[in-house]
Amino acid sequence: MKRCTLILPDAGPINSLWVADRLQLLLLLDMKIVVVDAVYDELTSDPSYLKDRDVKQFIDDHKPSFVIAETDIGNLEREKRRLGQKPKKNAGELAMVDFMSSEDGIGRYLDADEPVAILFEDVGLRVISKPPNLHLLSTVGFLKGLEDVGIIASAEEVIHEMLHPSKPGRRPNDARRLTDLPDGTDEPAAIGSAWKPFL
């Protein structure tokens, strides 16, 4: 059974895992992780903020596992910042749409026999025509799956930490709003591939 490439077109999962101090769970999947460029920029652009510093350090330290996927929107917004102009507030969402609908975006990862898992939190994420090799996975579904295969003892403990931050450097306003509780989303691909680590 083939393993997936994991694609992050949404900052939500990384923000939530950071709040719970569990970013390392992404590395336990043993698969390539593609982060959309504007999402990476959104996650790492403010060095005065602990979360941005931590996430940048984490991704940069694990570059063989992480790939930053360029989009037209991401390039445009970086050029704006370089020129001292204010970027769009919804640049991450626009880049996600660009990536999800482009042959130069997700199309690069959707060869007919190559499975892909989209890890998301944004309820606005929509896949109009779901290819047979595409998994849809929310942060909650991801944690429930890791519990199912014994990688974490309790998804609920991690989710509780996301909703009620207590780790060092986390603030009450870092608390996440997870809209797919209690079960999350874990829609499998039709081709019989897997995102869960093999035991």
Residue 1 has a pLDDT of 54
Residue 38 has a pLDDT of 86
The winner for highest mean pLDDT among 22-31, 80-89, 108-117 is 22-31
What's the CATH fold of domain 5-187? Rossmann fold (3.40.50)
pLDDT tier at 140, thresholds 50, 70, 90:
very high
Note the pTM of the prediction, 2 decimals. 0.86
- Tens-digit pLDDT profile for residues 127-138: 556 778 888 899
Domain parsing of the chain, residue ranges? 5-187
pLDDT exceeds 70 at position 21 = yes
Residue 112 has a pLDDT of 57
User: Which residue did the predictor score with more confidence, 89 or 51?
Assistant: 51
Residue with structure tokens 């490439």? 5
* CB distance 17 to 139 below 8 Å: yes
Mapped onto helix, strand or coil, the DSSP state of residue 28 is helix
How many angstroms separate the CA atoms of 182 and 18, rounded? 20
Residues with Cβ within 8 Å of residue 18, at least 6 apart in sequence:
51, 54, 55
* CB distance 194 to 29 below 8 Å: no
* pLDDT > 70: percent of the chain: 84
- Please list, residue by residue across 169-187, b when 16 or more beta carbons sit within 10 angstroms of its beta carbon and e when fewer do: ebeeebebebeeeeebbbe
pLDDT tier at 147, thresholds 50, 70, 90:
very high
How many angstroms separate the CA atoms of 66 and 14, rounded? 13
pLDDT tier at 3, thresholds 50, 70, 90:
confident
Edge-first strand order for the sheet with 5-8 is: 66-69, 33-36, 5-8, 116-120, 134-138, 186-187
Mean pLDDT, rounded, of the chain:
85
- Tens-digit pLDDT profile for residues 53-90: 999 999 999 988 998 988 888 888 888 888 888 877 77
- Tens-digit pLDDT profile for residues 164-184: 999 999 999 999 999 888 989
Q: 120 φ, ψ to 5°?
A: -145, 165
Q: Which two tokens stand for residue 152?
A: 């974490």
Q: Which two tokens stand for residue 84?
A: 């001292």
